[in-house]
């Protein structure tokens, strides 16, 4: 008996990130190849006729236009992201179409910043979602009823599926293949595409939170720059307060009000960032990095590193250092 194909629709709006579209589609296409049948029918939807210019300048030719496919059943609907999604207005026609079509699909979701379009359509309220780490805070700010997890690679919440930044769309698509066709087929797809079957760690290991735009008044910004430049010194709350010529209580309250976290939390984050940079150079072992960055020992570094980055210092060094393992 012939099995009816599942229709996968990826929405590609002007300025779309090309990999958000073609990455997941290649995963589904490889699944078709692995099972020897058209398990998935793949389509790209655009907002208007004609080529869709991506953020890289490459143009896509869509298979259909929003509003022209109202009678066709969609199994999985994914909205691709674009670099300026957090600040660009969403077309009313897109919002209306998503409101109509997403609830009729078996699964719907987004890749990267595509979550902003679903949120604008009111489809993420009360849901746990992820998006690119660089815009996660902005998504949470614009849509406070959405529970944003900046660490996750992809998340399933009922019929909703969301993926983190760019290449995480492949991870999401692979998880959908595993849902539909099982563990073994998904493993074969991952092997053929030379990708992790289960990516180790979360997306925060890829984040780059610099110190260029520091919060707080100028004196607090100067203090933060000094801590970041000297992570190995004793940065107790009492010492930091003394450096600003304030009482410990006044300093703690001021820091939390203007920076948004406690001094101790900020110092730990700054030390972890310093440790990341030294591990990326690949010239020191975690024990040496711990001493330079102000951690009591390698185990203290490891616990803090896993909390902030999602992987151990040794694994991070192996994955990101210039010298490799």
* C-beta separation of 76 from 107 below 8 A: yes
* SS3 state of residue 64: strand
E strands in 66-159? 76-79, 107-111, 128-129, 147-148, 154-157
Which candidate, 211, 255, 246, 256, places its Cα nearest to that of 230?
Answer: 211
Q: CA 278, CA 280: separation in Å to the nearest integer?
A: 5
**Residues 6 or more apart whose Cβ sits within 8 Å of residue 212:** none
The helix or strand, by DSSP H or E, that contains position 191, with its residue range, turns out to be helix 183-192
* SS3 state of residue 269: helix
112 is catalytic: yes
Residues taking part in catalysis: 112
């Amino acid at each position: 008996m012939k099995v009816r194909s599942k229709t996968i629709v990826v929405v590609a709006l002007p300025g779309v990130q090309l990999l958000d579209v073609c990455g997941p589609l290649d995963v589904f296409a490889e699944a078709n190849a692995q099972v020897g049948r058209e398990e998935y029918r793949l389509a790209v939807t655009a907002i208007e006729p004609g080529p869709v210019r991506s953020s890289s300048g490459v143009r896509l030719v869509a298979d259909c236009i929003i509003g022209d496919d109202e009678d066709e059943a969609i199994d999985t609907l994914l909205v691709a992201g674009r670099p300026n999604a957090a600040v660009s207005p969403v077309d009313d026609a897109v919002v209306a179409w998503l409101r109509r079509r997403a609830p009729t699909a078996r699964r719907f979701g987004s890749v990267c910043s595509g979550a902003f379009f679903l949120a604008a359509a009111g489809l993420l309220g009360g849901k746990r979602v992820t998006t690119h780490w660089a815009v996660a805070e902005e998504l949470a700010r614009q849509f406070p009823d959405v529970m944003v997890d900046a660490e996750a690679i992809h998340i399933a919440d009922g019929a909703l599926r969301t993926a983190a930044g760019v290449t995480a769309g492949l991870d999401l698509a692979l998880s959908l293949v595993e849902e539909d066709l099982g563990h073994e087929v998904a493993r074969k797809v991952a092997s053929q595409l030379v990708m992790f079957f289960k990516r180790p760690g979360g997306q925060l290991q890829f984040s780059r939170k610099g110190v260029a735009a520091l919060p707080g008044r100028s004196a607090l910004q100067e203090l933060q720059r000094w801590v970041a430049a000297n992570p190995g010194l004793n940065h107790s709350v009492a010492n930091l307060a003394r450096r600003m010529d304030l009482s410990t209580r006044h300093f703690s309250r001021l820091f939390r009000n203007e920076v948004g976290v406690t001094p101790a939390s900020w110092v730990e984050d700054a030390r972890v960032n310093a440790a990341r940079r030294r591990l990326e150079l690949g010239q020191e072992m975690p024990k040496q990095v711990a001493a330079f960055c102000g951690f009591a020992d390698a185990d203290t570094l490891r616990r803090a590193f896993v909390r902030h980055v999602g992987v151990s210092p040794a694994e991070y060094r192996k994955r990101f250092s210039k010298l490799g393992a």
